[in-house]
């Protein structure tokens, strides 16, 4: 699987393909903070909170993450394709982060109640790009710190987006 992913990334001329594969294989570990935070909210609030699924659904979605979205080849191809497309239109590494954050916040802020899985996909795309961009310059500690900050931002964006949607619904 790793060899196949590397071959495809090399064909697409995606830089740091080996690092992409490595991060893709470790991404399931990065899903844990979001899952645990969601689970904690379910326990504290006693059920659904701000449009998030209930406890059983949260576990189901987490298992879906593990089995489908964050399998090494699928994740590598998804992120590799995203980086490839953005680079082809002239977006630098810093620009890739900016564009990804903007699109991801838009998705998680506006349609997180329906498509929160899509928001998570963008979140891990951003984390991957940040890791690739900063890892060699700043080291693992700073890269992991940024990843944790993005996870917190993700939770905040979901709550803010659902609050905004609820307010708009009340007004209408």
- DSSP per residue, the chain: -HHHHHHHHHHTT-TTHHHHHHHHHHHHHHHHHHHHHHHHHHHHHTS--TT---HHHHHHHHHHIIIIITSHHHHHHHHHHHHHHHHHTT--HHHHHHHHHHHHHHHHHHHHHHHHHHHHHHHHHHHHHHHHHHHHHH-HHHHHHHHHHHHHHHHHHHHHHHHHHHHHHHH-
Which range among 4-8, 112-116, 158-162 shows the weakest confidence by mean pLDDT? 112-116
Does residue 129 have a pLDDT over 60? yes
Its pTM surpasses 0.75: no
Residue 5 and residue 66: Cα distance in Å, rounded?
A: 18
Residue 59's pLDDT is: 53
Q: In this predicted model, which residue has the larger pLDDT, 143 or 9? A: 143
Q: Buried (b) or exposed (e) across 117-137, using 16+ Cβ within 10 A?
A: eebbbbbbbbbbbbbbbbbee
**pLDDT (0 to 100) of residue 162:** 59
Rounded percentage of the chain residues whose pLDDT exceeds 90: 0
Instruction: List pLDDT tens digits, range 54-99.
Output: 555 555 555 544 444 444 444 455 556 666 666 676 666 655 555 5
Q: According to the model, what pLDDT value does residue 88 have?
A: 72
Q: Give 87-118 pLDDT, tens digit per residue.
A: 676 666 655 555 555 555 454 444 444 445 55
């Amino acid at each position: 699987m790793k060899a196949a992913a590397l071959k495809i990334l090399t064909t697409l001329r995606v830089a740091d393909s080996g690092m992409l594969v490595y991060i893709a294989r470790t991404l399931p570990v990065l899903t844990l903070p979001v899952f645990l935070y969601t689970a904690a909210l379910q326990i504290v609030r006693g059920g659904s909170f701000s449009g998030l699924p209930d406890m059983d659904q949260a576990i189901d979605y987490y298992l879906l993450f593990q089995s489908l979205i964050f399998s090494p080849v699928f994740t590598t191809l998804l992120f590799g394709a995203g980086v490839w497309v953005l680079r082809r239109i002239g977006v630098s590494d810093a620009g890739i982060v900016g564009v990804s954050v903007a699109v991801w916040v838009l998705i998680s802020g506006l349609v997180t109640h329906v498509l929160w899985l899509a928001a998570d996909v963008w979140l891990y795309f951003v984390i991957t790009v940040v890791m690739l961009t900063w890892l060699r310059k700043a080291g693992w500690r700073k890269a992991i710190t940024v990843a944790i900050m993005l996870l917190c931002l993700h939770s905040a964006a979901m709550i803010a987006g659902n609050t905004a949607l609820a307010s708009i619904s009340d007004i209408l």
